[in-house]
A and B are shown apart, each in its own frame.
Chain A
Amino acid sequence: AQKVTQAQTEISVVEKEDVTLDCVYETRDTTYYLFWYKQPPSGELVFLIRRNSFDEQNEISGRYSWNFQKSTSSFNFTITASQVVDSAVYFCALSEARETSGSRLTFGEGTQLTVNP
């Protein structure tokens, strides 16, 4: 069975601070995908990134960066110089990587990030 744990329920920072959201996962699959989604107050889940299990390169996109460490089963997300618009619930998710199956997403419980001005 797959499981995703986001231990931080809520994080509050002041604008321009850096913040890291933690994600730890469990899976028996050798090939899988990891994702981060953002859910702003409007409610719609917005896809941010997909990472393949066989690619441990870290990724940077603007103020966002992701650190994937297979050895510790972690896929952490860092926002540099946070802004008020970053306030949202962030979800980490996991799926198997077999086209013959559905590859449903298994989500963590989310981390509510509040960035104060």
Chain B
Amino acid sequence: DTGVSQDPRHKITKRGQNVTFRCDPISEHNRLYWYRQTLGQGPEFLTYFQNEAQLEKSRLLSDRFSAERPKGSFSTLEIQRTEQGDSAMYLCASRKDGYYEQYFGPGTRLTVT
């Protein structure tokens, strides 16, 4: 199996710009998660998809954040009107039904200047 992939790996943007990240899960994994990790901290849950349905969102996910998973395959995370506080590593993970361990991608490191 190929692992979870994320694109881009790094993104530098100016405050106020919109950014979009992509995650491709492991092919037979129907559950997909987004987490955010800031320096020196553990990852924090953002949102979760089961197939194409977004079933759970964290309070961390402000109105400026939106996520989609069309057709239950890849997922995108968009941040509108970025702020400096959005600078972080955005991690995607996937798992399949009946197996609770999540497999993580390499992450997208976002820097907002």
Contacts and interface: CB of A to CB of B under 8 A. Distances in A.
A81 interface: no
A113 to B, nearest CB: 15
Given A107-B42, A108-B42, A109-B42, A102 B101 contact: no
Contacts of B89: 43
A52 B93 CA distance: 20
Q: Which of the four size classes fits the interface of chain B?
A: 20 to 34
Nearest to A4: B42
Interface of B: 31, 33, 35, 40-45, 48, 50, 55-56, 89, 91, 93, 97-98, 100-107, 109
A95 B43 CA distance: 13
29 contacts: A33-B100, A35-B101, A37-B104, A44-B106, A45-B43, A45-B91, A45-B93, A45-B104, A47-B101, A50-B100, A91-B42, A93-B42, A95-B100, A99-B97, A99-B98, A102-B33, A102-B50, A102-B55, A103-B100, A104-B33, A105-B35, A105-B93, A105-B102, A108-B42, A109-B41, A109-B42, A110-B40, A110-B41, A110-B42
